[in-house]
């Protein structure tokens, strides 16, 4: 059994356990395999282990992998910072973008989404920990941004995404995720038909699932550590 296959099986088992602990069915959870810094071969291996949805942070690296893997029916998610002059290849090659925090970027993605493709699924990234250096819209500015993005053509606003400041214990990890759940509920009460909370990574997904994550983004626990100079 390859490492990726056994890692994926272990992650799925852990997801099922966390879902059960949260009193939820595992079918309410989507697993996004974050393949950044790993090559097309690693993605292919994960595909053969049953994984379909992959997350990428760096556009040039992602485009190379997407091209190399055109023979597989994969679903690509862009989860890295979006530069407004790089929106076209994102609009043309991805099914989802999780990391939109400005109207200008959403407008460009909407204008550049090819007509023959389904609408681009989009999440708004929220700066839930209030870190000055972090990307993400401030919670206080979320509602007007969500309303404006939801009104764009060729875009389907699905929900919210967050990367909270790292915390060690589960109780501390749950705080920002609970806040995210509240923010999503606020938008739903305002009539926005949102169904996605993209939150939780290798080190904290159980906390995110306890607070209602519907999509967890997991890299290290599937592909291994990235800091060993992995092939791009």
What is the smallest separation between the CB atom of 104 and ligand PLP, expressed in angstroms? 21
CA dist., res. 11 & res. 151, Å (int) = 37
Q: Is 34 in the site for ligand PLP (CB under 6 A)?
A: yes
Q: Is 100 in the site for ligand PLP (CB under 6 A)?
A: no
- The residue (of 77 and 113) whose beta carbon lies closer to ligand PLP is 77
Handedness of CA 80, 125, 226, 201 (dihedral sign): negative
User: What x-and-dash track marks residues 187-206 binding ligand PLP by CB under 6 A?
Assistant: --------------xxx---
Residue 32: in which H helix or E strand, if any?
Answer: strand 30-34
Distance of CA 49 to the CA centre of its chain: 20
What is the smallest separation between the CB atom of 141 and ligand PLP, expressed in angstroms? 20
The stretch near ligand PLP (CB under 6 A) out of 2-10, 13-21, 61-69, 212-220 is: 212-220
Residue 180: in which H helix or E strand, if any?
Answer: helix 170-189
Contact 87, 96 (CB under 8 A): no
Selected from 8, 11, 31, 36, the binder of ligand PLP by CB under 6 A is 36
- The residue (of 81 and 139) whose beta carbon lies closer to ligand PLP is 81
Contact positions with ligand PLP (CB under 6 A) in 149-178: 163
Q: Structure tokens of 178?
A: 């609970």
Q: Is 79 in the site for ligand PLP (CB under 6 A)?
A: yes
Contact 214, 30 (CB under 8 A): yes
Contact 176, 138 (CB under 8 A): no
Contact positions with ligand PLP (CB under 6 A) in 40-69: 57
CA dist., res. 109 & res. 208, Å (int) = 28
Q: Is 218 in the site for ligand PLP (CB under 6 A)?
A: yes
**Which residues sit at the interface with ligand PLP, rule CB under 6 A?**
34, 36, 57, 79, 163, 201-203, 217-221
């Amino acid at each position: 059994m390859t490492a990726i296959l056994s890692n994926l099986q272990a992650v799925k088992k852990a997801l099922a356990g966390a879902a059960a602990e949260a009193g939820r069915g595992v079918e309410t959870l989507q697993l996004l395999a974050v393949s950044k810094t790993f090559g097309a071969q690693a993605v292919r291996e994960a595909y053969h282990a049953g994984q379909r949805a992959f997350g990428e942070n760096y556009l040039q690296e992602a485009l190379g992998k997407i091209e190399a893997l055109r023979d597989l029916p994969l679903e690509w998610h862009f989860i890295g910072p979006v530069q407004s002059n790089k929106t076209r290849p994102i609009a043309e090659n991805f099914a989802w973008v999780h990391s939109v925090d400005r109207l200008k970027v959403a407008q460009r993605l909407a204008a550049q989404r090819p007509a023959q493709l389904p609408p681009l699924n989009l999440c708004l990234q929220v700066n839930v920990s209030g870190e000055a250096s972090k990307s993400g819209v401030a919670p206080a500015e979320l509602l007007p941004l969500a309303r404006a993005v939801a009104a764009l053509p060729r875009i389907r606003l699905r929900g919210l995404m967050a990367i909270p400041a790292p915390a060690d214990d589960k109780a501390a990890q749950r705080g920002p995720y609970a806040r995210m759940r509240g923010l999503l509920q606020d938008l739903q009460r305002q009539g926005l038909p949102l169904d996605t909370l993209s939150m939780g990574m290798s080190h904290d997904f159980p906390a995110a699932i306890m607070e209602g994550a519907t999509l967890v983004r997991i890299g290290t626990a599937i592909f291994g550590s990235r800091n060993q100079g992995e092939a791009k």
